[in-house]
């Protein structure tokens, strides 16, 4: 009960933040009523998906300080579970999604146990390695379509199919992912002030100190890693139904893992709004740069060059991300 | 029955023995000071007792149970809290959040942890700065926050590692007030590593002296201060020989 | 039997080049405690340098080595003074983020300039020729020459690190940066030098590799991961470790060949159905993970 209450308790934020967040929430709710551009709609869905990815990453990476660069493997587990179950046995999304979460979490416990014996850089690289191993295995596994991947053919279903999450119009997908987005915010809001949330922040600061306060550092990290995994896997399942075409390279590749981590770090790791801000900046930037520059006159890659420059600037000048800048400005005003 | 009993504890690093055959006990509610020259093995002793280092041989019995093989977080859960010499509380957390991390060892509930933390801050005269980030505070206050955090975990024995090192007399006075509060008011047993003699001699019920990893003296502060072995350890053999009459 | 020996020889040869790739990473890590995720992109630049220099001037691709070394040295130094220097002040998270940014930057810049197609060398004295090592083992001459030149470059850098005063200053910085600064060693210059040497060694490896490996802008990440695996195996910061670990990882990459041999020797049908060639690099990643978990110091560990 107390946990539920604290999920809805935003009282420790300044009133300005809450008002802005409220306005944005209302905007997100009514956005589809005004916009008829398919491009804007697709971008918004991407933004929401990556916000939720980022929120998940933020639990272990931001609050826990464990730079995880292998989140894509869990996107893959979620996506493949949903796709395989739907294609082979016609099992709807709302059953396959929780099952995907369970599988992803189980896998996260198996590799999390050895993984968290490593620290810092070594940990980060090892997460990449595990993710690539799984991707390679999926690329040769005939049952899941090997390198060709899987395709959900929408013709078989009647639109709109709420059970299987097969829609023709993006607006339905929009509201589904928006629901996950709000649930995600509430969960992380409760998480950051829960016992585990406090323990993680203590671990991020100093592991010896944390263990002197009775915190089982290894176990706390594994638990949080599983929570982050659940977030990512849910969106992975959604991804399968939304994109309808999943390949190992797209759903489990390193690029996706990096993007998830970058999003959260750029916005501000370890803050509630950070991943959302990161996604809000990077996703539209990415799709608009691509639409404007990438498509035109053989300038493939220029969008990502600009993107990379922004990342480099942020990391060198303000390592706490965009939210770090906001807080800095705010504190200066205060004094 | 003693609260903490250490039996023939030995800790070696490679060929070097940092603690050699140390035995002692701490009674419920007692305040024991540990002194000794640099490198005498004081902090190593704390690390062995609290489970940060595995011991090479010997036994640590706490509250009647053998805790020798337990890890750091397990000893903490049994009521053995400690502070560190080299770092203070978490700089990225506010004062009250730090203390709450300690309090969360006893309860899952956030509101209970917060209430407990507020009470401790009150007792430590830190109420006004609850929402300040620890990294922004002066070292002396950081050290007090560290003690408050350790206290938050509700220990029966508190190991304090050089909480007064490098502080001004005024600050030492404040720390001393906090230690006295923990000891006499809350009745928690304390072990205290300290170089500031004035503090150790004033607050301790008993003082233990380590030198080269061995225990060379153990007794009331006044007796220990006069012990020739102790003086030799601190001032050197030659000094003792040449100033025999003075002592 | 010749399949097996052939695989092992191929593993050793590629391993010699990979050792040079990993050398750059281990020097930079040893001196600065920073992991350069753009390392493979340096290699990619080395490959393009070798390719384009050879195409533009018509000299033999193997002789482009000095050009690649110069480009790599400059690249490393520019990256250090222009970017890394500011990055290392921040926390580890920012360092990871930053070198990732660098990786994306170099990769996509290459995409912008060179396009996404595979490019390969077609002209050269040794290209198309092969060398008979006896016992039925025939290796491409380019591979053999590249491997031998790699060993020479590796030794040259190793001597530079161990026999010269500058090299010793570099090692001192690696062991204890603050101590080195107190002894009057200009650590900032040493860091830049480490990036320069690290960059030069990996671009040289790239120029050698391009003799028998086609290049595209995305080739980097594979070699970054391979280099990480080697450095993990050899011990972070250890130069001799990098060499031996390079050979081991070269062998790991030839597991499919060894598998073929076993399939043939044991004559088990199910073995033939395992798509081993697609899993060539999987073993490298797996090796990194297993080595790190079981032996965090690496097999020849020196630092940490």
Q: What is the pLDDT of residues B95-137, one digit of tens each?
A: 999 999 999 998 888 889 999 999 999 988 888 888 888 888 8
User: The tokens of C97 are what?
Assistant: 């983020």
Nearest residue on chain C to A298, alpha-carbon basis: C112
Please name the residues in contact with A296: beta carbons below 8 A apart, sequence gap of 6 or more: none
pLDDT at A275 over 80: yes
Q: Which band of pLDDT confidence, cut at 50, 70 and 90, is reported for residue C302?
A: very low
Domain at A256, CATH number: 1.10.3470
Q: What is the pLDDT of residue B74?
A: 92
Q: What is the pLDDT of residue A23?
A: 92
Instruction: Give the gap in angstroms from C-alpha B92 to the nearest C-alpha of chain A.
Output: 7
Taking CA atoms, A205 is separated from A64, A240, B47, B88, B135, in Å, by: 9, 37, 20, 11, 11
Q: Which band of pLDDT confidence, cut at 50, 70 and 90, is reported for residue C75?
A: very high
For each of the domains in chain C, give its residue range(s) and CATH number, in order of start.
Answer: 2-294 (1.10.3470)
Domain that holds residue A317: 2-334
Residue range A314-331: mean pLDDT, rounded: 84
Model confidence over A131-173: pLDDT tens digits?
Answer: 989 998 888 888 887 778 888 877 777 777 777 878 778 888 9
Question: Which of A133, A254, A299 is facing C286, going by the closest CB pair?
Answer: A133
β-bridge pairing B189-193 and B31-35: parallel
- Say whether C86 and A307 touch across the interface (CB within 8 A): no
Pairwise CA distance, residues A273 & A95, whole Å? 30
pLDDT higher for A161 or C248? Answer: C248
Pairwise CA distance, residues A39 & A51, whole Å? 18
pLDDT at B231 over 90: no
Among A263-272, C86-95, C241-250, the range scoring the smallest mean pLDDT is C86-95
Q: What is the pLDDT of residue A335?
A: 60
Q: Which band of pLDDT confidence, cut at 50, 70 and 90, is reported for residue A191?
A: very high
| Phi, psi of A166, rounded to the nearest 5 degrees | -115, 110
Q: What is the pLDDT of residue B40?
A: 85
Among A46-55, B6-15, C69-78, the range scoring the smallest mean pLDDT is B6-15
Q: What is the pLDDT of residue A294?
A: 58
Q: What is the pLDDT of residue C303?
A: 43
| Chain A residues with a Cβ under 8 Å from any Cβ in chain B | 2, 6, 193-195, 198-199, 201-202, 204-206, 208-217
- Say whether B153 and A205 touch across the interface (CB within 8 A): no
Pairwise CA distance, residues A160 & A279, whole Å? 28
Q: What is the pLDDT of residue C43?
A: 94
Question: Which of C87, C217, C289 is facing A316, going by the closest CB pair?
Answer: C87
Pairwise CA distance, residues A263 & A322, whole Å? 11
Residues of chain B in contact with residue A202, where contact means CB-CB under 8 angstroms, are 90, 93, 98, 101
Q: What is the pLDDT of residue A74?
A: 95
Nearest residue on chain A to B158, alpha-carbon basis: A212
Q: Is B26 on the interface with A (CB under 8 A)?
A: no
What pTM was computed for the model? Answer: 0.89
Q: How many structural domains comprise chain A?
A: 1
| Phi, psi of B97, rounded to the nearest 5 degrees | -65, -40
Instruction: Give the gap in angstroms from C-alpha A304 to the nearest C-alpha of chain C.
Output: 6
pLDDT at B162 over 80: yes
Question: On the CB side of A234, how many CA atoms lie within 13 Å of its CA?
Answer: 25
Pairwise CA distance, residues A170 & A154, whole Å? 14
Residue A48 belongs to what H/E stretch?
helix A38-57
Q: What is the pLDDT of residue A10?
A: 83
Superfamily for domain range B4-79+155-242: P-loop containing nucleotide triphosphate hydrolases (3.40.50.300)
- Say whether B82 and A204 touch across the interface (CB within 8 A): no
Q: What is the pLDDT of residue C46?
A: 94
Model confidence over B23-74: pLDDT tens digits?
Answer: 999 999 899 999 888 888 889 999 999 999 999 999 999 998 999 989 999 9
Instruction: Give the gap in angstroms from C-alpha B74 to the nearest C-alpha of chain A.
Output: 6
- Say whether B90 and A198 touch across the interface (CB within 8 A): no
Q: Which residues 52-91 on chain B approach chain A with CB closer than 8 angstroms?
A: 52, 71-73, 76-77, 81-84, 87, 89-91
Model confidence over C20-42: pLDDT tens digits?
Answer: 999 889 888 888 878 888 999 99
User: The tokens of B104 are what?
Assistant: 């969360």
Contacts 24+ apart (CB under 8 A), C133-140: C133/C9, C135/C2, C135/C5, C136/C2, C136/C5, C136/C6, C137/C2, C137/C5, C137/C6, C137/C9, C138/C6, C139/C6, C139/C9, C139/C10, C139/C13, C140/C212
Are B137 and B62 in contact, with CB atoms under 8 Å apart? Answer: no
Residues of chain A in contact with residue B83, where contact means CB-CB under 8 angstroms, are 212
- Say whether A265 and C289 touch across the interface (CB within 8 A): no
Question: Which of A261, A305, A316 is facing C108, going by the closest CB pair?
Answer: A305
The ranges assigned to domains in chain B are 4-79+155-242, 88-153
Question: Which of C108, C282, C292 is facing A304, going by the closest CB pair?
Answer: C108
Model confidence over A82-111: pLDDT tens digits?
Answer: 999 988 898 898 999 999 999 999 999 999
pLDDT at C296 over 70: no
C23 burial (CB, 10 Å; 0-12 / 13-18 / 19+) is buried
- Tokens 């609850």 map to which residue? B130
Pairwise CA distance, residues A298 & B106, whole Å? 63
Model confidence over C118-139: pLDDT tens digits?
Answer: 888 777 766 667 777 676 677 7
Are B87 and B139 in contact, with CB atoms under 8 Å apart? Answer: no
Residues of chain A in contact with residue C102, where contact means CB-CB under 8 angstroms, are 308, 312
Are B4 and B49 in contact, with CB atoms under 8 Å apart? Answer: yes
Question: Which of A121, A130, A309 is facing C35, going by the closest CB pair?
Answer: A121
Question: On the CB side of C81, how many CA atoms lie within 13 Å of its CA?
Answer: 10
Q: What is the pLDDT of residue C48?
A: 94
Q: Which residues 96-155 on chain C approach chain A with CB closer than 8 angstroms?
A: 96-98, 100-105, 107-112, 115-116
pLDDT at B211 over 80: yes
Please provide the average confidence, as pLDDT, over all residues in chain C: 83
């Amino acid at each position: 009960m107390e946990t539920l209450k604290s999920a809805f308790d935003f009282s420790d934020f300044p009133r300005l933040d809450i008002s802005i967040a409220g306005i944005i929430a209302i905007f997100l709710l009514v956005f589809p009523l005004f916009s008829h551009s398919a491009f804007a709609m697709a971008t918004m869905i991407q933004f929401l998906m990556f916000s939720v990815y980022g929120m998940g990453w933020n639990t272990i990476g931001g609050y826990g300080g464990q730079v995880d660069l292998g989140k894509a493997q869990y996107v893959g587990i979620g996506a493949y579970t949903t796709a395989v179950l739907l294609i082979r046995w016609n099992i709807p999304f709302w059953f396959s999604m929780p099952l995907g979460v369970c599988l992803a979490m189980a896998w996260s416990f198996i590799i999390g146990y050895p993984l968290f014996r490593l620290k810092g850089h070594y940990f980060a690289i090892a997460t990449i390695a595990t993710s690539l191993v799984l991707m390679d295995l999926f690329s040769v596994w005939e049952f899941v379509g090997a390198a060709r991947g899987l395709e959900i053919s929408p013709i078989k279903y009647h639109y709109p199919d709420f059970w299987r999450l097969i829609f023709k119009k993006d607006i339905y997908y929009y509201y589904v992912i928006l629901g996950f987005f709000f649930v995600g915010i509430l969960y992380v809001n409760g998480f950051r002030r829960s016992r585990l949330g406090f323990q993680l922040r203590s671990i991020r600061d100093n592991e010896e100190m944390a263990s002197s306060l009775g915190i089982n550092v290894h176990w706390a990290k594994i638990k949080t890693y599983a929570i982050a995994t659940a977030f990512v896997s849910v969106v992975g399942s959604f991804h399968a139904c939304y994109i309808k075409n999943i390949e190992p390279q797209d759903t489990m590749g390193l690029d996706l893992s990096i993007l998830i981590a970058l999003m959260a770090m750029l916005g501000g790791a370890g803050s509630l709004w950070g991943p959302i801000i990161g996604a809000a900046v990077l996703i539209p930037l990415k799709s608009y740069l691509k639409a404007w520059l990438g498509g035109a006159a053989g300038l493939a890659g220029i969008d990502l060059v600009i993107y990379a420059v922004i990342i480099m600037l942020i990391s060198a000048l303000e390592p706490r991300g965009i939210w770090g800048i906001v807080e800095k400005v705010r504190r200066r005003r205060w004094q | 029955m003693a609260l903490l009993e250490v039996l023939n504890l030995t800790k070696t690093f490679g060929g070097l023995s940092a603690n050699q055959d140390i035995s002692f006990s701490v009674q419920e509610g007692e305040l024991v000071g540990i002194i000794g020259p640099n490198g005498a093995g004081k902090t190593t002793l704390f690390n062995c007792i609290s489970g940060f280092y595995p011991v090479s041989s010997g036994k640590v019995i706490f509250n009647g149970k053998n805790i020798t093989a337990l890890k750091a977080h397990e000893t903490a859960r049994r009521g053995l809290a400690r502070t560190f010499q080299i770092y203070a509380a978490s700089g990225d957390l506010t004062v009250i959040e730090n203390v709450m991390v300690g309090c969360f060892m006893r309860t899952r509930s956030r509101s209970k942890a917060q209430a407990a933390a507020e009470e401790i801050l009150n007792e430590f005269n830190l109420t006004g700065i609850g929402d300040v980030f620890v990294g922004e505070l002066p070292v002396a206050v950081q050290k007090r926050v560290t003690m408050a955090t350790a206290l938050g975990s509700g220990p029966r024995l508190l190991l304090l590692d050089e909480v007064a090192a490098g502080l001004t007399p005024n600050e030492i006075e404040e720390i001393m007030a906090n230690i006295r509060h923990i000891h006499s008011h809350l009745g928690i047993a304390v072990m205290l590593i300290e170089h500031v003699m004035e503090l150790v001699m004033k607050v301790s019920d008993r003082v233990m002296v380590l030198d080269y990893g061995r225990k060379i003296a153990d007794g009331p502060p006044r007796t220990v201060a006069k012990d020739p072995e102790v003086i030799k350890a601190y001032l050197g053999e030659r000094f003792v020989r040449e100033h025999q009459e003075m002592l | 039997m010749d399949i097996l020996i052939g695989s092992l020889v191929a593993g050793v040869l590629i391993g010699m080049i990979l050792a040079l790739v990993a050398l750059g990473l281990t020097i930079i890590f040893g001196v600065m405690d920073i992991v350069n995720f753009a390392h493979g992109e340096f290699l990619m630049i080395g490959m393009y340098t070798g390719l384009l220099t050879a195409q533009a001037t018509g000299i033999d691709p193997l002789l482009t080595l000095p050009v690649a070394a110069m480009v790599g040295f400059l690249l490393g130094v520019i990256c250090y003074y222009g970017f890394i220097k500011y990055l290392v002040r921040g926390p580890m998270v920012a360092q990871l983020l930053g070198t990732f940014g660098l990786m994306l930057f170099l990769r996509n810049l290459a995409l912008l300039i060179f396009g996404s197609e595979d490019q390969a060398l077609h002209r050269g004295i040794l290209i198309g020729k092969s060398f008979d090592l006896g016992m039925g083992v025939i290796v491409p001459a380019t591979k053999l020459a590249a491997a031998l030149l790699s060993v020479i470059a590796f030794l040259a850098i190793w001597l530079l690190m161990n026999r010269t005063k500058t090299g010793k200053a570099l090692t001192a910085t690696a062991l204890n940066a603050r101590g080195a600064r107190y002894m009057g060693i200009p650590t900032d210059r040493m860091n830049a030098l480490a990036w320069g040497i690290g960059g030069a060694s990996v671009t040289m490896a790239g120029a050698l590799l391009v003799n028998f490996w086609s290049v595209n802008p995305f080739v980097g990440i594979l070699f970054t991961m391979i280099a990480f695996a080697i450095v993990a195996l050899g011990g972070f910061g250890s130069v001799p470790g990098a060499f031996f670990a390079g050979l081991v990882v070269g062998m790991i990459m030839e597991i499919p060949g060894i598998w073929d041999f076993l399939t043939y020797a044991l004559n088990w049908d199910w073995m033939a159905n395992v798509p081993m060639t697609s899993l060539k690099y999987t073993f490298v990643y797996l090796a990194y993970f297993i080595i790190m978990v079981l032996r965090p110091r690496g097999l020849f560990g020196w630092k940490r």
